[in-house]
Structure 1
Amino acid sequence: MESYFEKQTKELYDKANKIINTYSMSKANKSGDKLEIDIPQDFKNDFFSLVDKVNLSLMEEKDNFYGYFLFQTLREIRFDISSPTSVNFKEAKYVIYFNPIIFLNLNMKQMESTIKHEILHILSQHLIRSKELKDKYSKLAINMAMDIVVNKYLNNLPPYATTLEWVNAHYSLTLEPYESFEYYVDKIQTELDLQEVDENGEEHDSNIDENIETDYNPERTHDIWKDSDDIDEKTLKEFTEKFINNSQKGKTPAYLEGLISSLKNSKGELPWNLYLNKLMGTVESNKKKTITRRNRRQPNRLDLRGQLRSHKAEIAVALDISGSISDEEFKQAIKEVLNIVKNYNHEITIIECDNQIRRVYKAKSIKDIKDRINIRGGTKFTPVFEYANNKKINLLVYFTDGEGEDKLKVIPRGYKTLWVISGRGDKLSLKEPYGSVKKLSKVEIKDDRLDISDVRDDGYSMNNQAPIL
């Protein structure tokens, strides 16, 4: 028997269709100025009355965090978003947008999941992290990677939701569960680069009405994010923490605790290993030529070969052997470096240096790490940068106690630098570090990881479970 909620949903869906049909007829009879969709106030009242029922259901659940979070947000109707819901940040508030045509096709539990989906994007700091990758990766790759990450926490997803299983099946990939946003976007982009697409890496439909979206489109699900207020990362996190604090009214699930802890502890200053993880997503990769696709910039030039990402990340790890960092500290740090870069086609070069370079060798695993040479000269940073400037290095990670020169004799060229100061060190002596400076400390990377209790019970078979370490 049809419930009152289902009946209300169908009635609202019919009214929503009448609204867009009226708009389409008006547009057909008018040329010139762009038409705005006229949404009657009584429809808005009835629609948000239904959303209130979904919100109440969320607040009655054991993980009522989502209900209290939604309660604080502003809500608006937008027929031009290509997903049931979307979110951005306007005037010191998060705003959750609803496309009635897509949203009203869902049942109650699916409606709850799509709202949770938007809140998880906020907690995962995707509104910030996606901006940092938009010049390196396509919009489609970024959108699908972010959705894989947040959807792994959710049950009762809409049938078209972008999940790990769907992406693996659709693109013939073997992406692993429990990985980071940066891992997924890199792997997905590699596959997209193999496909025949246009210059921007996207396929376009010139007949799309910019004011109306009636179907889910993973390429455009987060377009509305660009309309967010221009606000610095630190301030946005402070506002987000206020929303979080007002939402924690009961016991919070472990996976939410991990995301919240990661956001709160960052304070705009990521620990060194999380910062390295972030850097790896932006490191320039070498390109290889291919005759299987046309050149993107000049597609009509058949004599020019296209390019594919080969993802060869050349990473130099320098160790100040004169400093106070212990062998145990360094080996633990190297383990974390290797864990972070394992998803890339990487090559690590270890450089041991005091006042001169003492030894250089390659390392692919922790077994390749050698005990430090027992020499304790003075400390100079310049020799390492002279070496790096003459090699094709993408990233230099320098472990040191920070005591050395106050000025480099050469300027780093063509690579990023991350300084990691020993737990017993104080600060870096260089006045201009030409990179980021972080403290060495043991930090658990929880950002996009799962406990076994957090895994969706409808998405993975036991054969797909990755080991929980």
Structure 2
Amino acid sequence: METYFDKQKRELYDKSNMVIDTYLMSKANHKGDKFEVDIPQDFKAEFFRLVDKVSLSLMEEKDNFYGYFLFQMSRDIRFDISSPTAVNFKGAKYIIYFNPIIFLSLNIRQMESTIKHEILHVVSMHLIRAKELKGKYSTLAINMAMDIVVNQYLSNLPPYATTLESVNNTYSLRLEPYETFEYYVENIQTELDLQEVDDEGEEDDSDKNMKDENIQTEYNPENTHDIWDDSDDIEQKTLREFTEKVVNNSQKGKIPDYLGGIISALKNSKSELPWNLYLKKLMGTVESNKKKTITRRNRRQPDRLDLRGELRGHKANIAVALDISGSISDEEFEQAIKEVLNIVKNYNNEITIIECDSEIRRVYKVKSIKDIKDRINIRGSTKFNPVFEYANNKNINLLVYFTDGKGEKRLKVTPRGYKILWVISARGDKLSLVQPYGAVKKLGKVEIKKDTVDVGDVRSDGYSMNNQAPIL
């Protein structure tokens, strides 16, 4: 039996089509003119009365955070978005847009989920993070990666929603659940690049079926976040502070654990790049060692056949120093080293683990997380010098040093020929060195458990949507 809500939804859907028909007829009678969809005010009012019912339903749920967040957003209708809802930031506020044709095809639970979907994008600061990756990855890869991240926390999704399962099935991938946005975008882009090579030379008929740019009637993952480009140009710090204010006003009761982790990440994050993204950026500047070869002549003296040439692309040496004095927890390091391995896996690198306190206790090489050894049960004081003495005598390209920051004020040796990234633990405060010789970043908070955890159990690095399963 049809409910009153379903009846109202069906009637609005019919009226939406009438709005589109009126637009198309008017456009046909004004050929060559730039024409936009004229949305009657009475239709808007009736449509948003239905949205109010969805909002009220969100308010009544246990995780009413979404209802209170929606209450602080402006609302508008746009038929040119290729998803049920979309969001951007304009006029010092977040605006959520609805495409009635797509939105009204959903049931009330799916409507709730698509609103939650947009709010999770906002709280996760995806508007900023996607902008930082633009140009390096395709729009499709970025959009799908972001949607995978937020949709893992939602139920009652529309049937066409971009999920981990759908992407794995479509692209024959084996992406892991509850990973970082950056992990997904890189793996998806790799597969898209391979498919592009396979499809080279095939005719693209997409232009032949182009519809009116002002009217979108179907979901299209490649264009779901195009509206973000219409956002006002605002400093990242200001947008973060504004978002945090809206979040604080939305917390009226108990929130789900996954949402608490995301909010904590927002509040703990700075305007600067977090350590893992900074490392990824740094990797692009690390030059691999040059390998001598007899198959290429020396560039400077090509006539000297006795001089060997050089090839780039030989393995770069990455050293990861771990302060085992007790300043870095097992959970923190396991999470951090997993991120390191994930970041550098697409580069031709060799990773060396250096365990140290007041001296170097053990050095070993790793290729995967399975190679990580249990830490030596020695807890001495912290000294940085031994690691740099070691690095200066090895062919190191990059040194990543995990510590609480409490050591010497000055190094006795000057680092030579390699880049340095300091990562300070959540328990630490700042680096004691007056001159660090490299970037200093903070490691996000990680839940510390008494028992040893599996590296995939807990993530709370702040910038990565938290590697924990949702509680729905």
* Bucket of the pairwise TM-score, normalised by the shorter protein: 0.7 to 0.9
Partner AA of 1:367 in structure 2? K
Partner AA of 2:53 in structure 1? K
The equivalent of 2:334 in structure 1 is: 335
The equivalent of 1:226 in structure 2 is: 229
The answer to whether the aligner puts 1:215 opposite 2:184 as a matched pair is no
The equivalent of 2:372 in structure 1 is: 366
Query: 3-state DSSP class of the match of 2:97?
Result: strand
Query: 3-state DSSP class of the match of 1:159?
Result: coil
Structure 2 CA distance for partners of 1:126 and 1:422, relative to 1, 3 Å: closer
Moved more, 159-168 or 398-407: 398-407
Report the alpha carbon displacement of residue 189 of structure 1 after superposing the two structures with TM: 1.4
The answer to whether the aligner puts 1:454 opposite 2:471 as a matched pair is yes
- Alpha-carbon contact 2:79-2:215 (below 8 Å) kept: yes
The equivalent of 2:61 in structure 1 is: 61
Report the alpha carbon displacement of residue 233 of structure 1 after superposing the two structures with TM: 2.4
The equivalent of 1:46 in structure 2 is: 46
Structure 2 CA distance for partners of 1:96 and 1:441, relative to 1, 3 Å: closer
Alignment of 1:16-165 (within 5 A): 16-165=16-165
Partner AA of 1:438 in structure 2? K
Structure 2 CA distance, aligned partners of 1:33 and 1:242?
Answer: 43
Report the number of matched residues: 417
Partner AA of 2:250 in structure 1? S
Among candidates 236, 249, 253, match of residue 250 of structure 1: 253
Report the alpha carbon displacement of residue 122 of structure 1 after superposing the two structures with TM: 1.4
Moved more, 249-258 or 37-46: 249-258
Moved more, 425-434 or 228-237: 425-434
The equivalent of 2:304 in structure 1 is: none
- The TM-score with structure 1 as length reference comes to 0.75
- Alpha-carbon contact 2:328-2:425 (below 8 Å) kept: no
Structure 1 CA distance, aligned partners of 2:316 and 2:342?
Answer: 10
- Alpha-carbon contact 1:318-1:352 (below 8 Å) kept: yes
The equivalent of 2:306 in structure 1 is: none
The equivalent of 1:177 in structure 2 is: 177
Moved more, 135-144 or 355-364: 355-364
Report the alpha carbon displacement of residue 86 of structure 1 after superposing the two structures with TM: 0.6
Partner AA of 2:339 in structure 1? I
Query: 3-state DSSP class of the match of 1:436?
Result: strand
Instruction: Please report the RMSD computed on the Cα atoms of aligned residues, expressed in angstroms.
Output: 4.0
Report the alpha carbon displacement of residue 161 of structure 1 after superposing the two structures with TM: 0.4
Report the alpha carbon displacement of residue 37 of structure 1 after superposing the two structures with TM: 1.4
Partner AA of 2:64 in structure 1? N
- Alpha-carbon contact 1:87-1:118 (below 8 Å) kept: yes
Structure 1 CA distance, aligned partners of 2:31 and 2:392?
Answer: 64
Structure 2 CA distance for partners of 1:223 and 1:278, relative to 1, 3 Å: same
Structure 2 CA distance, aligned partners of 1:104 and 1:439?
Answer: 44
Report the alpha carbon displacement of residue 73 of structure 1 after superposing the two structures with TM: 0.4
Query: 3-state DSSP class of the match of 2:196?
Result: coil
Deviations 1:64-114 (A, max 9, x none): 111111111000111111100011111221110111111111111111110
Structure 2 CA distance for partners of 1:72 and 1:376, relative to 1, 3 Å: closer
- The TM-score with structure 2 as length reference comes to 0.75
The equivalent of 1:464 in structure 2 is: none
Which residues of structure 1 form unaligned runs of 5+?
A: 288-309, 320-324, 456-469
Deviations 1:343-368 (A, max 9, x none): 35264223589999999652343318
Percentage of identical aligned residues: 57
